[in-house]
Structure 1
Amino acid sequence: MKKKASIASNLIGILKIRLLKFLFPALFAFSIIFIMSESAQGQDCSVVLKIKDPMPVCAPSTVDLTLEAITTGSTNGLTYTYYSNPELTIIVPSPTKVKAGIYYIKGVLTGSCRGFVAASVEAKVNDKPNVIIPNPVVKSLNGRADLTSSLITSGSDTGLIFSYWYDKASTKSLSTPQSTVNGVYYLKGTSGNGCSDIQTITIND
């Protein structure tokens, strides 16, 4: 009976945190703390799980829920298990690479002082923007072309900030995209959430 009561108390605590996090997001911008105690042999034990939501990633990347930074500040010695439902019955098979969503981390403390605690964590995966170049081969005028022309990226997502590169890895910047000589270049469009797409364009006579 005691174990069932502890599980019920744990579930109620998680739901309360989810409600507070929804109503007052500013309070939980950095971390949430949920404390639950479960006595062992009459001993009063407290287990603390402190959660900081991981940084958003850009699709098609996934989120690693096992990062140490997510549970920094929690009780030492906790063993973590990851779930996809607040009842803590469906284990996440690959917590190192999850898609966007709400998940639940359960921390278990063993030894003379035993206890467990659970809290929610949110994984965010931002959409990758679309950079569209209708005509990937541009005719130059007197051996030069303007890569900043809006016609070149017509059809791309709105609000993108474009940058221009010599390489697909975007490590060598093109300093004069308004007057570019013949060659192969890369146009990178970055959205407000920091995600980007990059496409190739060729300039020739």
Structure 2
Amino acid sequence: MISSVLVVGLGNPGSRYRGTRHNMGFEVAEALARELGVSLARRHHGLTGGASVGEHRVHILLPQTFMNESGLAVAEFIRYCPVTYPEGLIVIHDELDLEPGVVRVKLGGGLAGHNGLKSIVHQIGTQNFVRVRIGIGRPVAHASVVDFVLARPRPEDRSELDLAVGRGASAVRDIIELGPAQVMTVYNQRARR
């Protein structure tokens, strides 16, 4: 049994970025914190707090570095509170390769150009952790990916993303309680969601 689990929501700090596509990890982690009654306080280059879920001590971390330096906060926290890979580290992030609102769970694998994931892997030295991927879709042809992820979504996409926040928080709790393999069979076999 894993005694300590670190849940990391990826995003950019500050009101300028709140509600943008790139901050879906923050939104899911904040929703999970509300569900668990966790108050987040500034520590380890981030906002963090903890609660018990079954036999597990769950720590939630929202790095307050910018996205491309997220790994600094994760590595510092892990030095303070070591985790067991892969199940002990769950990272929630936006995913261009999924339609808006789709939630998928992945164990290890590539980084798909995501700067937050790249930073974490660079700092902790492994890709072997659980990811909860929140689909945001792709920009239209020839549009800037950077502008797209740092923009707030259209209302029709926002409604899908709002639903995904709840599904993402549920997926994290399921991973903690049931393990990633069992949760992947549920979330990844759904036709659309």
What TM-score do the two structures reach when normalised by structure 1?
Answer: 0.25
* Higher strand residue share: 1
Computing the radius of gyration over CA atoms, which structure comes out larger, 1 or 2?
1
Which structure has more relative contact order (CA 8 Å, sep 6+)? It is 2
